Amino acid sequence: MAAEFVVRNWNAWAPGISCREDWQNWDDHQPFAQQEKAAISVAVPKLLQRRLSPLARAVFNAAEGCIDSDKVLPIVFSSAHGEVNKSLEMLQSMQRGEDVSPTAFSLSVHNAISGLFSMAYGYHQEITVIAPGQDGIAPAFIEALGLLQEGHADEVLIVLYDEPLSDFYPSLPFALNAPAICALALKISLAGSGLPLQFCRSSAHRNDGEHALQIFSFLKFLVADDKALVLGNHRHSWEWHKR
């Protein structure tokens, strides 16, 4: 059964690409300005700013474009790998016999970015953090639509994010490594103005890579004239249709 919803607003960040016009002109073969860091609001306390990794800054930048100061809505954060590179650095420090601080550990767990976001913005609404593994971006939509259909809120914010993995992790022959840090925020509702979409299971047997790669595929779908997008792995596939 298909679920219908509306993308009320969206915002995305990757190195060198920070506005919709940039994404509309984006060619997926063009190189990214890998060393660039995302700008974040001056409203974020200085103490927290110093704790933000490049991935966290990208998430903050994308989400800030979709939140309103007068309306707090539930958020679904979704990332395949989260701050796994920080975890690797911590393990390598331990291997060298160095001490690991509690702060370093707390910033390496999968829900670290959502926790920092909650503190930075005084967020007290429901926050869900998903680690979808091979299932890509679809579980975030399933969770967000469940919140809407159960009447928890009129709008829900989905934030999809990932970064390139350290060379320590084998990415081949697996399609799991992002070409660059990327964060995409989508504010969705069941009705209202915006881009109306339909979301449903697909019978197609596909392998479109993990979450990190699917974010870029969904961004291309948002800015292109294509009416449908199918993404999946060897187990499940999902379709998005522009209505």
For 192-236, write each residue's pLDDT tens digit.
999 999 999 998 888 888 899 999 999 999 999 999 999 998 788
Please state which of the ranges 9-13, 40-44, 82-86, 193-197 shows the lowest mean pLDDT.
82-86
Confidence of residue 172 (pLDDT cuts 50, 70, 90): low
Dist CA 188 CA 205 (whole Å): 28
Residues in CB range of 50: below 8 A, 6 or more apart: none
Confidence of residue 121 (pLDDT cuts 50, 70, 90): confident
Q: In a 10 Å sphere around its CB, with 0-12 CB exposed, 13-18 middle and 19+ buried, how is residue 114 labelled?
A: buried
Highest mean pLDDT among 39-43, 102-106, 125-129, 169-173: 125-129
Rounded mean pLDDT, 23-38: 82
If one compares 142 and 110, the residue with the highest pLDDT of the two is 142
- All domains in the chain, ordered by first residue: 8-23+33-197+208-227 (3.40.47.10)
Confidence of residue 98 (pLDDT cuts 50, 70, 90): confident
Highest mean pLDDT among 43-47, 74-78, 173-177: 74-78
What secondary structure does DSSP assign to 110-165, as a single string? TTHHHHHHHHHHT--S-EEEE--GGGTTHHHHHHHHHHHHTTS-SEEEEEEEE-PP
Query: CB of 242 within 8 A of CB of 234?
Result: no
Dist CA 50 CA 45 (whole Å): 9
Supply the DSSP symbol for 31.
P
